């Protein structure tokens, strides 16, 4: 299911993207994945009112810092962001996650895209913080 949603959002197929268009009265009840997906879909389809509505709701919930919110709106995950902010910036729909737990903490590698139709990207985190992205 996550792969399908990622593919829909990345390819901006009209039937898929429409499902992320959250009416203003439904924003308070939308979950984090829906809000992040709406920001990404709005960016990709130049539906800036949708980006504005969804990012305003994220800001209202006080889940992210201002620099993290800016990264989410731009679709840019950066080292130092919270893991949730990095996932939100990239649409919150990953294909795979590889996790390693050691005495020093938990490292995760999130895999986005399929490598064939959608460029494969990686988001690396350690103990809840983004440490690197590729590419």
**DSSP characters for 4-36?**
HHHHHHHHT-HHHHGGG---GGGGGG--HHHHH
The 10s digit of each residue's pLDDT in 72-84 is 999 999 999 999 9
Label residues 48-79 b or e (16+ Cβ within 10 Å = b): eebbebbbebbeeeebbeeebbebbbeeebbe
The 10s digit of each residue's pLDDT in 97-111 is 999 999 999 999 999
Range with the poorest average pLDDT among 2-11, 30-39, 113-122: 2-11
pLDDT of residue 21: 74
pLDDT of residue 19: 57
* pTM, 2 dp: 0.80
More confident residue, 54 or 117: 54
For residues 48 and 42, give the distance between their C-alpha atoms in angstroms, rounded to a whole number. 6
Label residues 11-23 b or e (16+ Cβ within 10 Å = b): eeeeebbeebbbe
């Amino acid at each position: 299911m996550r792969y399908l949603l990622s593919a829909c959002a990345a390819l901006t197929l009209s039937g898929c993207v429409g499902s992320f268009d959250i009416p203003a009265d439904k924003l308070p009840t939308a979950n984090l994945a829906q809000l992040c997906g709406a920001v990404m879909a709005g960016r990709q389809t130049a539906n800036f009112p949708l980006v504005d509505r969804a990012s305003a709701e994220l800001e209202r919930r006080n889940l992210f810092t201002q620099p993290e919110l800016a990264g989410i709106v731009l679709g840019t995950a950066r080292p130092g962001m919270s893991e949730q902010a990095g996932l939100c910036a990239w649409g919150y729909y990953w294909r795979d996650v590889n996790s390693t737990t050691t005495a020093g903490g938990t490292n995760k590698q999130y895999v986005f895209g399929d490598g064939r139709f959608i460029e494969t990207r990686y988001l690396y985190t350690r103990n809840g913080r983004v440490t690197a992205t590729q590419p």
